[in-house]
Structure 1
Amino acid sequence: MKTKTYMVTRFCENTKQSSFFEKKKKNISEMMAVPESDYMQAFLSISVGVVPYLEKLPGVSNVIVDERTPAERHQLLMWEQKNSCILPDDMKSFFMTTNGVKLSWCFKFDDDILPIGLMEVNSIDKLTKVCESKQAASDPTIADLQCDRAKDQTPLAKSVNGFPHFDGRSRIFELDACREYGKVCLVYHNTETGSPAQGAEVWFLDRSFRWHFLTDSFSEYFQMMLVHLGLPEWQYIFTDIGLSPQVQTWFHMFAPMRLVIDAEDKAKSVFQREGDTAAISEVTLDNNRVFKAKAEKRAKSGNQKKKANQNKSSASRTGPPSSSSRGR
């Protein structure tokens, strides 16, 4: 199920970054061709050159990439055995090139250095289950809260597997803590005890514990993160909540075309609901017809009053009937 690839392509085609991204864009499955000894070369190959692009932006400073060694194959196998989940092939290639990613950048405003962008994917050892804690059986759990919030789940895009669950039906792992404004999670659906789960998706969990579907591929999520330059709260573009005014300011400065595309998509959503391709017919207001109807109504009312007045005038001229006529 392809859901967000169009967004990455359209953004690249409609912004000054288009030639930059298209020339250097590579699939994450090709990362193993990069020598593991040169970390920056490996990172630049999977990040489509986003580092030199950021360094050329006016006002951007302190572009920092944390260097990390590749994960060993046995670490991936141990994770899969421990969690009874099979990592997607693109994630395996990613971790064997760099064990997680962290890129941050700042914006210089007068004499202040403001931390703005952050692109982060947890390492394999920090890819842990969400809300995994031991507590008494009588204590309320996040699964109970999810039941109360189920009716509020209204993501802009939907997964064929439905919403994630904090009980045994899903296995959920944290990809990015998102500076505590939410969590990006790797989600396995329809899990069974004793059976390895496969087919992971990427979801965003906001602070009100509502789920929002992002994509069904880690490679696509990684590209989405790069396209949005790690701007604060960029995941909220894919929710019905949207971006805050403050965050929109940063988007206007560094990714203005993304806001244009978002506005276009929201306009289209008015005419398309839940995958239904039938457009809603536009309702137009004909002012001439409206005022013509009102004029006709006033004319009809005036005619009725005029006729009533004429009847009264005619009756007054003829006078009351004579006594002789009454006798007859």
Structure 2
Amino acid sequence: MGFVVDKVSEDSFYENLLLGLSKVLERSPCVSKVTLKRIPGVRQADIRAWEHNNGVILPEDLRSFYSSCNGFLLTYEFSYDYKTTNEEERDYRTGIIQVNAINDVIRVYGYETKNNANVEHCGKRHSLTLSRESKVFELANVDENAKVVLVYPTTYSIPNIWFYWGQMSFSFLAEDFTTYFRMTVAHLGIPYWQYAFSKENLPETSREMFTIIAPGILAEDRNLVERHKYDLDNVNKIDPNIFSPSQGGSQGTNLERNVNVRSTENKTKERIKSKSVPKKGTSAKNRKH
């Protein structure tokens, strides 16, 4: 059965999924016409049919995502000339966050293959070798020369998210779909941001957009995927559970409950810590050891 929610919980679902991105974009005078297309999820039978036709199993977070919404599309217009009243004189650029509908997650060909598939990790670098058994599927189109792809090195391996660009070149983006979606939200859907993770240069127009509406992000690109670099408890995260159909309540209710629990735990730790600190004016002689 598909993902069905009432209007309030649907609003809550998208708000939590986007981590408040729409409000961030709307605060910039250079951004206008922020549009979110709401797409109902698909049935589990449709997901199983896709898996059967393609001979692979989708990872759990991506299965849950398609159960909640069959693809994703958020767009907005960016322009330096926001004060210009003449619409025809404005030079627009389109920001976009997109995930293909499940039937548009089609297989990609044309890459080099060898006898054995392998993913090598060497510090910050990842290298990918594919074989005839490997399968690559398009999750989103970046431009005529590049795509975001779901890569199965072998039929039964857990897939990762890669940037497929140029002449058969792959650049690693994320271990899983949830992390990739968090990355695209963090980059505000600025066009071609994926090139920042490749050997190609980020287009100058995209770099200018980062400078204006997302200053500092480019300097922190790698930290978005190298989790050991920062404290996960102090950053916004996408909980994979929000992709799942609600059970006995709205999506927002479950997330709010988690936030309240964490808040209560933090307050308890603060009270314990305050009790362990000697009161002001107590001498060292009067304290027991």
Normalised by the size of structure 1, how large is the TM-score?
Answer: 0.58
- The alpha-carbon deviation at position 169 of structure 1 amounts to 2.9
2:185 maps to which of 226, 229, 233: 226
1:100 maps to which of 54, 57, 71: 71
Q: Cα RMSD between the aligned structures?
A: 2.9
Local SS of the residue matching 2:216? helix
Does structure 2 conserve the Cα–Cα contact (< 8 Å) formed by 1:63 and 1:103?
yes
- The alpha-carbon deviation at position 208 of structure 1 amounts to 2.7
Compared CA separation, residues 188 and 262, structure 1 to 2 (3 A)? closer
Provide the C-alpha distance between the structure 2 equivalents of 1:218 and 1:235, rounded to a whole number of angstroms. 14
Deviates most, 50-59 or 84-93: 50-59
Compared CA separation, residues 179 and 158, structure 1 to 2 (3 A)? same
State the partner residue of 1:187.
151
Local SS of the residue matching 1:177? strand
Does structure 1 conserve the Cα–Cα contact (< 8 Å) formed by 2:4 and 2:40?
no
Provide the C-alpha distance between the structure 2 equivalents of 1:107 and 1:57, rounded to a whole number of angstroms. 9
2:49 maps to which of 67, 70, 78: 78
Local SS of the residue matching 1:93? helix
Compared CA separation, residues 264 and 49, structure 1 to 2 (3 A)? closer
Aligned pair count reads 209
Provide the C-alpha distance between the structure 2 equivalents of 1:181 and 1:62, rounded to a whole number of angstroms. 27
- The alpha-carbon deviation at position 176 of structure 1 amounts to 0.5
Local SS of the residue matching 1:173? strand
Written as runs of structure 1 = structure 2, the 5 A alignment for 1:215-254 is 215-254=174-213
- The alpha-carbon deviation at position 250 of structure 1 amounts to 1.1
Deviates most, 247-256 or 220-229: 247-256
Provide the C-alpha distance between the structure 2 equivalents of 1:263 and 1:93, rounded to a whole number of angstroms. 27
Is residue 128 of structure 2 the alignment partner of residue 163 of structure 1?
A: yes
Is residue 209 of structure 2 the alignment partner of residue 260 of structure 1?
A: no
Q: Which structure has more strand as a fraction of its residues?
A: 2
2:106 maps to which of 128, 133, 139: 128
Does structure 2 conserve the Cα–Cα contact (< 8 Å) formed by 1:62 and 1:106?
yes
Provide the C-alpha distance between the structure 2 equivalents of 1:221 and 1:189, rounded to a whole number of angstroms. 18
Normalised by the size of structure 2, how large is the TM-score?
Answer: 0.65
Q: Which structure has more helix as a fraction of its residues?
A: 1
Amino acid at match of 1:214: L
Provide the C-alpha distance between the structure 2 equivalents of 1:143 and 1:227, rounded to a whole number of angstroms. 29
Amino acid at match of 2:102: I
- The alpha-carbon deviation at position 262 of structure 1 amounts to 5.1
Provide the C-alpha distance between the structure 1 equivalents of 2:106 and 2:189, rounded to a whole number of angstroms. 22
Amino acid at match of 2:175: D
- The alpha-carbon deviation at position 216 of structure 1 amounts to 1.0
State the partner residue of 2:23.
52
Amino acid at match of 1:247: S
Provide the C-alpha distance between the structure 2 equivalents of 1:235 and 1:178, rounded to a whole number of angstroms. 8
Q: Please identify the structure whose Cα radius of gyration is greater.
A: 1
Provide the C-alpha distance between the structure 1 equivalents of 2:106 and 2:11, rounded to a whole number of angstroms. 26
Amino acid at match of 2:78: F
Provide the C-alpha distance between the structure 2 equivalents of 1:87 and 1:223, rounded to a whole number of angstroms. 19
Compared CA separation, residues 106 and 143, structure 1 to 2 (3 A)? closer
Written as runs of structure 1 = structure 2, the 5 A alignment for 1:275-294 is none
State the partner residue of 1:36.
5
Name the structure, 1 or 2, with higher relative contact order (CA <8 Å, separation 6+).
Answer: 2
- The alpha-carbon deviation at position 107 of structure 1 amounts to 1.8
